[in-house]
Amino acid sequence: MDFRVKAGSKLTGEVQLPGDKSISHRSIMCAALAEGTSVINGFLNGEDCLATLDAFSKMGVSIDRTDNKVVVQGVGLRGLKKPDSDLYLGNSGTSMRLMSGILAGQNFSTVLTGDHSLSARPMERVVTPLNLMGSNISTNLEGKPPIKIESSSGLNSLSYELPIASAQIKSCLMFAGLYANGPVTVTEHLRTRNHTELMFQEFGIEVEVNESSKARKITVIPPKSFLATDINVPADFSSASFFILAALITPESELLIKNVGINKTRIGFLHALRHMGANIELQNEINSLEPTADILVKTSDLKGISLNTALVANMIDEMPAFFIAAALAEGITKIKDVKELRAKESDRLQAMSEALESFGVKFHLNGDGIVINGLGKDGVFKASKISSHGDHRIAMASSIASLRAEGETTIIDCHNVNTSFPNFIDVCREVGINIAET
């Protein structure tokens, strides 16, 4: 499936977005292991989250889904059953890495597989610490899927320092900690999204968080059991980022994006854009465990910046959209320490470089960073054919960028947009974006 997008102006209206992908994954996982019935409202019906839902169904968890409402009959920490076949997780790295932690503590063996893209992603980053806990997990010779997980009689306590900033590694070990014989502590030096910590708290699982200027330590105290609870999933900030970008770069635009999760470990993108001069206002803020707000965005003249590296871990999924903002800013934007972009659904640093080149933007790759020469507020991209490399975020960022291209732009291989934002086309059209599928 390809997208065709024509240049646009004056995007207006209110935007309702699908549920947060990270929170939807974790809500299913915790609800499945709880005692009792959990109701999840706002669940994201994207392919990635449905892969998680399907995997637990195959392990004996009763799950009923109606639109974006999911009812989960928890089976308890020890209630999962051996699936009849390998668990296929499609394109979802979150499913594979977090579920590895859960399955490492089970008394049955499993095999986790994925599509071509997922099968090329590094998994040693979770296999190594899980084996330190006493599990028996292996990948192929290159450290990539499939992941084979042998049955376990129990996992050991662990204190582990993250070698890279990764919420997925942290969360994997936190879930494994539910099956350990003692506390499991994960230390991170750059703060990553804390949805797992908050979800554990929602379900009554004891989590201790100690922060200093140099590190953040998260300790899970293994429970004997925990009770079901109901979860309200806010709109996904990563999905919102594309419409924040659209309003900023499209002339005479004003968009109100409703009920978006604004967890402070997720909104580095907002901080970076405000530093560039973006006109962004938070309204109707609700300070719940997962805080939310409506986000009002207006067309803005952006200035190039040197991106604070402390924000990178908090905006890694928004980085493709940030590259486009930088390409239309006045002056130079310098981005460093984004190595993790190379280990996503595609090598996003390379994929976005190719997109910028096709759009006629000058840039310089510098190891695991990039320097982008912005075209300025009156800049216009070249109309082109852009390869998304099968990556949903590259496809959506390139689609929004096409609003500032001359003529019509084609973005190739966009099917995987369904992994995180299945109604992306519909929402685009509602606010005035001229986009079509072919």
Active-site positions read 317
Residue 226 contacts residue 35 (beta carbons within 8 Å) = yes
Contact status, residue 420 vs residue 236, Cβ threshold 8 Å: yes
Q: How far apart are CA 336 and CA 298, in angstroms?
A: 28
CA 82 to CA 106: how far, in whole Å? 9
Rounded to 5°, the CA angle 150-86-57 comes to 105
Cα–Cα separations (whole angstroms), residue 228 to 19, 161, 264, 400: 20, 31, 26, 40
What CA–CA distance (Å, rounded) separates 79 from 178? 13
Which residue matches tokens 């996982």?
29
Tell me which amino acid residue 26 is. R
Question: What angle (nearest 5°) sits at the alpha carbon of residue 265, between those of residues 339 and 261?
Answer: 120
Task: Give yes or no for a contact between 386 and 349, defined as CB atoms under 8 angstroms apart.
Answer: no
Task: State both tokens at 89.
Answer: 């997780």
395 vs 407: CA distance, rounded Å: 18
Q: Which two tokens stand for residue 90?
A: 């499609």
Distance of CA 363 to the CA centre of its chain: 26
